[in-house]
Structures are given as C-alpha cells and as structure tokens.
Amino acid sequence: MNVAPKTLRHLSDLDQAGLAPAGQRAALERVAARYAIAITPAMDALIDRTDPNDPIARQFVPDPAELDAAPVELADPIGDHAHSPVDGIVHRYPDRVLLKLTHVCAVYCRFCFRREMVGPDAEALAPAQLDGAFAYIAAHPDVWEVVLTGGDPLVLSARRLRQAMARLADIDHVKVIRVHSRVPIADPARITDELVDALKIDGKATYVVVHANHARELTAAARQACARMIDAGIPTLSQTVLLAGVNDEPQTLGALMRALVECRIKPYYLHHGDLAPGTAHLRTTIERGQELMRALHGRYSGLCQPSYVLDIPGGHGKSPVGPSYLSQDGNGRVQVEDFNGGLHCYPPQS
C-alpha cells in the first residue's frame, strides 16, 4: 500500500528524510525546541540531498546557526506589538490593517520575522478576540484595505475563509482585501476551486501575494495553483526575501523574477532580511541588495523589477532602499545614470 508523503514536523522526521546530520543532533534539538519546523512534501521533493548548499533546504531545514542571536536582533523585529490596538490587528499605516486570522503556516521559513510568534502551539484567536478584530476594522472608516496574514491564511479551510471574507464584505469602507500566502508555492494542492471561490466576494477587490524565493519553487503544481487563482480573476503579485545563499546572485534573482512574470505574477516586494533572532547567516547587506537591483535594471524587463524595501525595526514601516540613479556634476547639474553606468545630464545641455 502506498503511503502519502507527510509534512516533516519533527527531528525524527528529518532524520528519516536524511536532513538532520547526526553530528548536529544536540544543536538541532535546541533549535526545534524554540522554533517550529514544517517542510511540506512539495518542498521536500525539491531539496537536493547531494548539495550541502541547496537553496531550498537553506530556507526550511533548521540550522544550528539559528542558536546564534546577534545583539541587534529582535523578537518582534518590525514592531507588530507596538501597533496592535486589539488582538489580531496590526495598524501601522493609515489606510490599511493586517488581520492575523491564524498563527499556523504550511511551512516554517528559517528566516521568518514572526518566528517567535507562529507555530502549531501558538495560541489562536478566540471567537471574542476575532469579533473584536472585525469590530476594530468596522469602527475605523479610514481602513480601505485589509491584509490577511498570520501565520498563513490559506491554511484555513474554505469554510473559515468564506466566513472571514463575508464579514469583511459587510464593512462598506473596506474596498480591497489582500491575502499574503506561501501556500500556493509550498502546498499547492490546497488551492482548490472551493478555496479560490471563497476568496472572491462581491463589491471587494481581492489580491493574492505569493511568497517565493527561488525559481525552483515554481513547480508545475505551483504554477497550476497560481493559474487557478489568476484565471478566476484574482490579481496575483509576489514577495521575495533576499537571502544569502538562496537568491543573492543576479542570475538567480533574475531567473526567479522572470519565472514569476511568466506565471502572470507581478513581482511586488524584494524584502531585505529582517532582524529576527538567529537569522544573521541568511541576511545580506543592503549594499549587496542594491548591487542586485542594479544588475536587474535594464537587463531584465520592467515587469521583473520588484521594489527593494527595508521594514524599519521598531515598527516604522517599509521604505524603499534601492539604488539611486541620480547625482550632480561639479556644476550642480542633475545627472542620470543609465543601466550601463553611463552618466547623462538632464535636461541635456545644448
């Protein structure tokens, strides 16, 4: 009898899958005691066991380096708590809020900025807390957009998603609902017609933002899952985290952006790595990120250009940190740099 592959959630699972070196066992037990583990069959199937630097494994397989927390790293690196007026809500920007429906994910990324808050043992919102979150949104008419996040909202059943969407449909001033999810990539079988239908409600625009960090993640199944949403009329964008050893080379990052565009997914954000505890081995410098954006500029279609952003520690929001192409010459005239490094006065000098 064939046994369906299962999500790897424990060190014993990693042992059996050949993903936990015996010499690292004690350190990995300490990592697993602090941070959740989950590697779906779809992601496990992509891991190259012969490559010690496999970019898929690097994202999901626990590493003893996670025990090394740098002094600048923070349990809440982007300041969710400072902007959480009620349970389940983060209200950082005037016209939009985050609504955290769940703290569970299909996979647990080793670089997650909410790694101290998410996991199977995280406390879910009680019905009264959920009521309070929707009441908060209803009481704030400036909230034009609600971003469903977590955890991962698409781990919920179609029934629960439909209930949440229906409650948002009843709030007239909410016009846009944005769903951030790793599920279409990490567990594409969950993107059923029923779930897609649950995301669509009359009178609201629904967008999905999928999280992908390497072109190999866009398997045939993942592409079909994304196409199911897009063909149903749900615009789909992407977010990517810049990760050392995963996508910090121009060809690798460019290949990902092209693969997304080929799937009719518009690259939206390239996030600089957040200061989450134990993630220094996965972070690049901002200078490296700017070099990569320069490498994409002009050599890859404008459709392939995400916004490179830094979520400012402490809850001050995202800011673009991409390279500048403007400077001044010795006479104070504006110069614009082209993608080949040439400088041109603007307006041109006669």
Residue of 58, 92, 110, 162 marked catalytic: 92
E strand residue ranges, the chain: 89-93, 96-100, 145-149, 176-181, 205-211, 236-241, 266-271, 307-311, 318-320, 326-328, 334-337, 343-345
Whether 92 sits among the annotated catalytic residues: the reply is: yes
297 pLDDT band, cuts 50/70/90, is: very high
Q: Is residue 326 part of a domain?
A: no
In the residue annotation, 109 being an active-site residue is answered as: yes
Phi, psi angle pair for 17, to nearest 5°: -85, 0
Is residue 329 situated within a structural domain? Answer: no
**Residues 204-215: what's their mean pLDDT?**
98
Compute φ and ψ for 211, nearest 5 degrees.
-110, 115
Could you tell me if 146 and 197 lie in one domain?
yes
- Same domain for 48 and 94: no
Please tell me the distance from the alpha carbon of residue 64 to that of residue 24, in angstroms, as a whole number: 7
Range of the domain at 61: 11-67
Q: What pLDDT shows up at residue 330? A: 85
pLDDT of res. 122: 83
Lowest mean pLDDT among 1-10, 76-85, 150-159, 298-307: 1-10
Residue 180 inside a domain? The answer is yes
Catalytic residue among 58, 100, 109, 110: 109
210 and 85: one domain?
yes
Same domain as 182, residue 42: no
pLDDT in tens, 35-49: 999 999 999 999 999
Give the number of domains in the chain. 2
pTM: 0.95
Clarify whether residues 86 and 53 are in a common domain.
no
Q: Which of 54, 105, 269, 283 is catalytic?
A: 105
**Residue 96 is among the residues annotated as catalytic for this protein:** yes
Angle subtended by helix axes 127-138 and 158-169, to nearest 10? 30
Quick one: pLDDT at residue 1? 57
Active-site annotation holds for 258: no
With respect to residue 109, please indicate whether it lies within any of the assigned structural domains: yes
Q: Are 165 and 304 contained in the same domain?
A: yes
Query: Do 132 and 17 lie in a common domain?
Result: no
**Catalytic member of 54, 115, 274, 300:** 274
Q: At what angle do helices 250-262 and 286-296 cross, to 10 degrees?
A: 60
Q: Is residue 138 part of a domain?
A: yes
Q: Which residue bears the tokens 């397989």?
A: 61
Percent with pLDDT over 70 in the chain: 99
The answer on 91 and 56 residing in a single domain is no
The HSE-up count of residue 18 (CA atoms within 13 Å, CB side) is: 8
Does 207 share its domain with 281? yes
Confidence of residue 331 (pLDDT cuts 50, 70, 90): confident
Domain boundary pick from 67, 89, 109: 67
Report the SS3 class of residue 269.
Answer: strand
Question: Which residues, in sequence order, are CB contacts of 231 under 8 Å at separation 6+?
Answer: none
Last residue of a domain, one of 45, 67, 89: 67
Q: Which two tokens stand for residue 331?
A: 């006479």
194 and 239 in a single domain? The answer is yes
Residue range 2-34, pLDDT digits in tens: 667 899 999 999 999 999 998 999 999 999 999
**What are 239-277's pLDDT values in tens digits?**
999 999 999 999 999 999 999 999 999 999 999 999 999
> Which among 100, 110, 112, 216 is annotated as catalytic?
112
Choice among 9, 34, 96, 264 that is catalytic: 96
**Residue 130 placed within a domain:** yes
130-154 confidence digits (pLDDT tens): 999 999 999 999 999 999 998 999 9
At residue 81, does pLDDT exceed 90? yes
Are 63 and 94 contained in the same domain? Answer: no
Other C-beta atoms closer than 10 Å to the C-beta of 340 total 7
Q: What is the CATH number of the domain that holds 233?
A: 3.20.20.70
Residue 341 lies in a domain: no
| CB-CB neighbours of 347 under 10 Å | 8
50 and 116 share a domain?
A: no
Quick check: is 242 in a domain?
yes
Active site residue 345: no
